[in-house]
């Protein structure tokens, strides 16, 4: 099966690309959830129940500490991409 990079789904909570089965979160019935990654979605619920501003802080922390991004850069990415994702869309 050919992989189109544009077709790689991203987590609708944190924006992480989900390329392999292990990247996907799990629903209550143990099936893979197609919208959220394993870090955000486990057993049918969000692993971290927080509002967007708090989630942005968490993501910035991960990006700077684990990925070595500059804080300004990480914050800009988080603030521009996260509000676009399904989880953070206002109903
Ligand atoms: Zn995620």
Q: Is 11 left (phi over 0), alpha (psi -120 to 50) or beta?
A: beta
- Measured in Å, residue 1 CA sits from the centre of ligand 1 at 25
- Measured in Å, residue 36 CA sits from the centre of ligand 1 at 5
pLDDT band at 90 (very low <50, low <70, confident <90, very high): confident
* Residue found by looking up tokens 């509002």 in the block: 51
Q: Angle, nearest 10°, between helix axes 71-81 and 52-65?
A: 140
**Residue 52 pLDDT exceeds 80:** yes
- Measured in Å, residue 40 CA sits from the centre of ligand 1 at 4
**Residue 6 pLDDT exceeds 90:** no
- Measured in Å, residue 63 CA sits from the centre of ligand 1 at 13
Distance of CA 38 to the CA centre of its chain: 9
pTM value?
0.85
Task: State the pLDDT at residue 91.
Answer: 58
Nearest to 54 by CA among 82, 84, 77, 73: 82
Task: State the pLDDT at residue 79.
Answer: 97
**Residue 4 pLDDT exceeds 60:** yes
Calpha distance 71→39 (Å, rounded) = 21
- Measured in Å, residue 24 CA sits from the centre of ligand 1 at 8
**Residue 2 pLDDT exceeds 70:** no
- Measured in Å, residue 37 CA sits from the centre of ligand 1 at 4
Domain ranges of the chain: 1-48, 50-86
């Amino acid at each position: 099966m050919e992989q189109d990079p544009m077709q790689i789904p991203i987590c609708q909570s944190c924006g992480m690309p989900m390329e392999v089965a292990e990247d996907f979160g799990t629903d209550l019935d143990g099936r893979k959830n197609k919208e959220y990654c394993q870090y955000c979605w486990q057993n049918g619920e969000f692993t971290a129940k927080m509002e967007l501003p708090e989630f942005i802080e968490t993501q910035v922390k991960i990006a700077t500490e684990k990925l070595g991004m500059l804080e300004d850069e990480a914050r800009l990415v988080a603030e521009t991409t996260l509000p676009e994702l399904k989880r953070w869309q206002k109903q």
